[in-house]
């Protein structure tokens, strides 16, 4: 299961981030993302009722990959897994979360800011390294990481939108995470942008 989910995330390249203040807004937002062509999304743990929302979203949209985001520790990881999350996403490097996810057969995107955090994630088997906040670090920073960490799977998150997502993918990121910007604009245009990003290849 973990390998299949990882492969699907690599193919999709775009992970939508659902972080909302109102529980009753979650499913309509997920539905809008589905209509826009999103196939992978995370519902953050600080969204009210996120666990139930994951269960409901998986039932209503079985074709989607629904993960849990803002998983800061093992307790949250176990809670998200119990609610049916198909992958976990963290903003920080807590290597115990990696072991928890893998114990459940799920991939994990581990947040990292420094080379030390990147190394910790790689050494403990993280499926993806979530470079966060990407906009603060910048594309040159990402490129410099490929020197010591050649082959690492970086997903850029934080300040990513349709204006700059392709640049990050061409620089070597295997994916990008987008929040509110992914719903800004016409659904058809958003869908076309997502489809275009799926076809972007890294520069060699």
Active site residue 130: yes
- The Cα–Cα gap between 16 and 66 comes to 10
CA distance 66 to 10: 15
Establish whether the linkage from the previous residue to 133 is cis, with ω within 30° of 0: yes
What is the sign, positive or negative, of the torsion defined by CA atoms of 24, 30, 35, 36? positive
Residue among 82, 71, 62 nearest 44 (CA): 71
Q: Where do we find the tokens 């010591």?
A: 148
One of 12, 13, 117, 130 is an active-site residue; which one? 130
**Catalytically annotated residue among 42, 63, 96, 166:** 42
Query: Taking a C-beta distance cutoff of 8 angstroms, is the pair 53, 26 a contact?
Result: yes
Asked if 107 contacts 5 with a C-beta cutoff of 8 angstroms, the reply is: yes
* Pair 55, 73: CB distance under 8 Å: no
Query: Which secondary structure element, helix H or strand E, spans residue 131, and what is its range?
Result: strand 128-131
Residues involved in catalysis? 42, 130
């Amino acid at each position: 299961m973990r390998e299949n989910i990882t492969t699907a995330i690599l193919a999709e390249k775009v992970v939508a981030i659902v972080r909302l203040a109102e529980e009753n807004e979650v499913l309509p937002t997920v539905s809008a993302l589905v209509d826009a062509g999103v196939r992978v999304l995370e519902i953050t743990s600080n969204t009210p009722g996120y666990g139930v929302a994951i269960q409901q979203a998986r039932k209503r949209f079985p074709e989607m990959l629904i993960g849990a985001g803002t998983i800061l520790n093992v307790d949250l990881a176990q809670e998200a897994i119990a609610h049916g999350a198909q992958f976990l996403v963290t903003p920080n490097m807590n290597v115990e979360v990696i072991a928890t996810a893998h114990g459940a057969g799920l991939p994990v995107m581990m947040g990292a800011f420094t080379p030390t955090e990147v190394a910790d994630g790689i050494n403990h088997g993280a499926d993806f390294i979530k470079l966060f906040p990407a906009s603060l670090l910048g594309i040159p920073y990402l490129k410099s990481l490929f020197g010591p960490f050649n082959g690492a799977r970086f997903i850029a998150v934080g300040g990513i939108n349709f204006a700059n997502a392709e640049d990050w993918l061409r620089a070597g990121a295997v994916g990008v995470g987008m929040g509110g910007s992914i719903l800004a604009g016409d659904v058809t245009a958003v869908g076309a942008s997502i489809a275009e990003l799926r076809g972007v290849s890294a520069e060699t």
